[in-house]
Structure 1
């Protein structure tokens, strides 16, 4: 029911109750690659009444649906919007290393297609992108500058620096020419908007960006800062005639982080205001009037429904004759008895949380210096999987030590609690896990086919995928199996006890400790950032962002495995389900290079 409500509701929002036609595009571009995009065409856009067009792009390690707040709001205002999967992302072809600038990582190929659409005004085509999607916009502008007929009329960069200087001469430059150009800048951006000395030492923090020479040159249309004395401000449009054409520049400087723009009403409003200012909306609606939050609500319902389905379907399967071997009576949870048991329980949780945090930071410092083998096409899933596997092995060592010092030589009851019931129950459990994951993603494809939506909340997304993603998921699956199976055994066989006479408190506690290490890292990173304007030295911003979905997945893993275990007394089903689901989600929501 939640999945159905999610699909219908999200579809109604993104189609503006049917007044916007949505097309899922796949085409071979002039670059020779296959590109994927979502095209939003308002009913008011016709060959007789062409509308302004906007090509929008996500950032690195994301996909086209991450631009949902922007395409929803622009389309309902009458813009034709094409939200692309950059090359190497989503359903587009893999990216060849070193070809990031070719056709603007795909954005300029999309601009060419947009230009040829009969219901798009060819004189009013804009580009916008977040993070490396903004870099793609910069690449596209450079390529457009060399075209016999320039196609791009407006540029809005989001959370990435404009081009300030000629890289060959070091001179200040206006590469945007007469194009209307804007910038949405995060004052707490983890990557951009800093200035450096000749040794690479940071001189200014992102929150001070607007007063820097870089920002002032941008607002002065590429002029050398030594050539002017006035200081321009954020939120103000500045106009100048460039080659006889009126042009504008604006910077929106927001109190937010780099990934926040994906779920920011302020950023969405600024984007709408920019394109309304430079093109004029065919259907003017106040920038503060936004409905994309309802799409987020319905997408989130689907995400919750996906998680519930994993539990419900697995529990239903084990009640059938075919998979009955996977279901054994689960003993009641017992209170912790004895000082040694309590010491191992609480000590094991605390030490595991510390190891989780410490290993993450240490591995992050090795991630781009040899940790990820050159033959791995996707860095983030492998990195997270490797870190997970390290913690899975540590968990197994802690469990072994706990057994050795507190249970060895006694009737520990581990067998009765499902640690090992034989090959037949184990094999049946593996089959249940496999069928459950296949069925769950089947729902995702059904919703994608009928409603062109998926299940997501900010940086956590469960989406339909192309067949190549299955092979990519299989590469990292063993790493996730090590962690999630070890975690399920720990949660259900060793640490399933009552606290205050209630098992649910134990479940909640274990869910909390699952995520405690990453939670401490995220809090430390952003408290430091807010206080100083700088990140923790040695802890790169991308790695704290990669922890955002982990903060949801790890507690959910404890709950899912516990719910299934209580019905089956089999700790392997829940662990395998989570491993397969996380591997598939990771492989279908990141950057893929040709190796």
Structure 2
């Protein structure tokens, strides 16, 4: 099977999409003269804290503006709050969008120092262009606990708070009451996956009947969404909003963002009036989504250019399909490749959470979970290979050039990510899928996980390429690999969320966090399959593609999750 020659246009297109999307994202962020800066400041015990600071043009030391402290949820980062931050800043608020401790570019361990909340609020109040008497707090999920930690530490330092998909009380926040926190708006979606943990109800749509929430609102009656309870002047105002979305869906919900802007318009003085429907943040999301697509194209195009260079000539070989037909053995192999990773996902993630505490040697729980899942899936695939198609001898690419092209391709792609970070101050993302430039600590952590993830991908991609069939068109080869790799997890998520949206009940409510984490793999796994087939068609081997995706997935996960050890 001969490989096509793209002659560099694929890499160029990818680079143009990356830079063009990032430039458009910066324009959306800075619309109306808003300045967005990447800042660092010292927190408790000298912990370096990271944040994005949004400053409207009218906010100056001579004309101070109200401020909002905005914080993302667990295993996210400051950019996840961009929808909220952009709209707050457009309404005249100075916004500090924090990386929690152990997240993004903030130091320390996850959960430490009140998640970084008290440090962030203290820093925001110290800014010369901020009116310290007009401060709002907004946090999503664990970010809600972050701002509640700030409110508990500095009870007279804010006027209002918005909890997005979050709660007062256990497990990490002070218990709420009719007088604490001050002027609370709860934005709790009708399909929030964490309703049992947050408010003690099985279905998020029933949160208005939560006994815990009633105690915060100071009533024994079912809470009416949209109705104002208490009084803002006394600091006892309460309101419940219920947008129709999920827990991670809050970030891309115009309703959820609009409710937050409305609440601060009612409870803070000095902002610029705008209708809640007047929003532009989604164009930034589209723009960085284009950059994310460009990243994939740059990876493919760079690999194509490198493999045709003299340095990597030993890798070039004709791709030979493993099977001649889709017979019964092929179908068994296909279904095993599709189902095994999906069946192992929850057991692996739960086992790591329960049995493998974060340490210096394994500092990131989510990355450990991903590595164990990948290794377990690969091992199961090897054990079950005898039930699949009979593989024909494949090309054995030399290890040296295969490692070299994987590292070189990754370096080119991540240099583009670095350029975007420095030139435009953003990452490459769409919703919960984000490619970020790792900081120094994260580069070191990546070295811990790189080998096991690479080993897993070497075994796993060999199995997937064992499903290639002679005579298939390129398009069919890509489709088959994408379905084999992602069809299981995609089908599992479709089942879970189909039942969820139909009944309001999350059938994986025993582990909602793993459910939310799984969503990103519905998008990530097809990309891995595309890279695998692309590399195989040019090298005839699984090695270079597996090593390349091993590097990329390791960096993707490490830079995008929390550090606990």
Asked if these proteins are the same fold (TM beyond 0.5), I'd say yes
Q: 1:444 to 1:238 in 2, by over 3 A?
A: same
2:336 to 335, 345, 351: 351
Whole-angstrom CA distance in 2 between matches of 1:175 and 1:390 = 50
SS of residue in 2 equivalent to 1:25: strand
Deviation at 1:32, TM superposition (A): 2.4
Which sits farther off after the overlay, 118-127 or 348-357? 348-357
> Which runs of structure 2 are paired with 1:20-169 in the superposition (5 Å)?
20-95=34-109, 100=112, 102=113, 104-145=114-155, 150-163=156-169
Partner of 1:466: 439
Whole-angstrom CA distance in 2 between matches of 1:373 and 1:55 = 29
Partner of 1:181: 184
Whole-angstrom CA distance in 1 between matches of 2:292 and 2:103 = 21
SS of residue in 2 equivalent to 1:11: helix
Deviation at 1:284, TM superposition (A): 2.0
1:585 to 556, 559, 565: 556
1:284 to 267, 270, 273: 273
Whole-angstrom CA distance in 2 between matches of 1:297 and 1:448 = 17
Which sits farther off after the overlay, 294-303 or 468-477? 468-477
Partner of 1:199: none
Partner of 2:7: none
Whole-angstrom CA distance in 1 between matches of 2:526 and 2:508 = 28
8 A Cα contact 2:102 2:562, kept in partner: yes
8 A Cα contact 1:364 1:540, kept in partner: no
Partner of 2:528: 557
8 A Cα contact 1:39 1:80, kept in partner: yes
1:255 to 208, 228, 244: 244
1:336 to 318, 324, 331: 324
Whole-angstrom CA distance in 1 between matches of 2:209 and 2:126 = 41
Deviation at 1:353, TM superposition (A): 2.2
Whole-angstrom CA distance in 2 between matches of 1:258 and 1:509 = 32
SS of residue in 2 equivalent to 1:461: strand
Whole-angstrom CA distance in 1 between matches of 2:305 and 2:151 = 55
8 A Cα contact 2:99 2:105, kept in partner: yes
Q: 1:238 to 1:293 in 2, by over 3 A?
A: same
Partner of 1:388: 374
8 A Cα contact 2:332 2:388, kept in partner: no
> Which runs of structure 2 are paired with 1:184-583 in the superposition (5 Å)?
184-192=187-195, 204-220=202-218, 225=220, 231-240=222-231, 245=234, 247-280=236-269, 282-331=271-320, 333=321, 336-337=324-325, 342-371=327-356, 374=359, 375-399=361-385, 402=388, 406=390, 412=392, 414-415=393-394, 418=395, 420-421=396-397, 425-492=398-465, 494-498=466-470, 501-536=472-507, 539-583=510-554
Structure 1: unaligned runs, 5 residues or longer: 197-201
Superposed CA RMSD in Å reads: 2.6
Deviation at 1:516, TM superposition (A): 1.6
Deviation at 1:152, TM superposition (A): 1.4
Greater CA radius of gyration, 1 or 2? 1
Q: Calculate the TM-score normalised by the size of structure 2.
A: 0.91
Whole-angstrom CA distance in 2 between matches of 1:143 and 1:563 = 54
What does the per-residue CA deviation read over 1:384-441, in whole Å, with 9 as the maximum and x for residues that have no partner? 12111111122233446657xx46xxxx3x24xx2x14xxx32112101101111111
Structure 2: unaligned runs, 5 residues or longer: 1-15
Aligned residues: 549
Q: 1:369 to 1:232 in 2, by over 3 A?
A: closer
Deviation at 1:115, TM superposition (A): 0.9
Whole-angstrom CA distance in 1 between matches of 2:160 and 2:95 = 14
Deviation at 1:69, TM superposition (A): 0.2
Partner of 2:21: 6
Whole-angstrom CA distance in 2 between matches of 1:138 and 1:373 = 25
8 A Cα contact 2:414 2:437, kept in partner: yes
8 A Cα contact 2:164 2:188, kept in partner: yes
Whole-angstrom CA distance in 2 between matches of 1:281 and 1:534 = 42
Whole-angstrom CA distance in 1 between matches of 2:330 and 2:213 = 54
8 A Cα contact 1:497 1:503, kept in partner: no
What does the per-residue CA deviation read over 1:199-256, in whole Å, with 9 as the maximum and x for residues that have no partner? xxx6653211112333333233xx6x3xxxx5541112234377xx364211111222
Whole-angstrom CA distance in 2 between matches of 1:476 and 1:165 = 30
Q: 1:334 to 1:475 in 2, by over 3 A?
A: closer
Q: 1:16 to 1:489 in 2, by over 3 A?
A: same
8 A Cα contact 1:131 1:158, kept in partner: yes
Deviation at 1:539, TM superposition (A): 4.8
Q: 1:86 to 1:537 in 2, by over 3 A?
A: closer
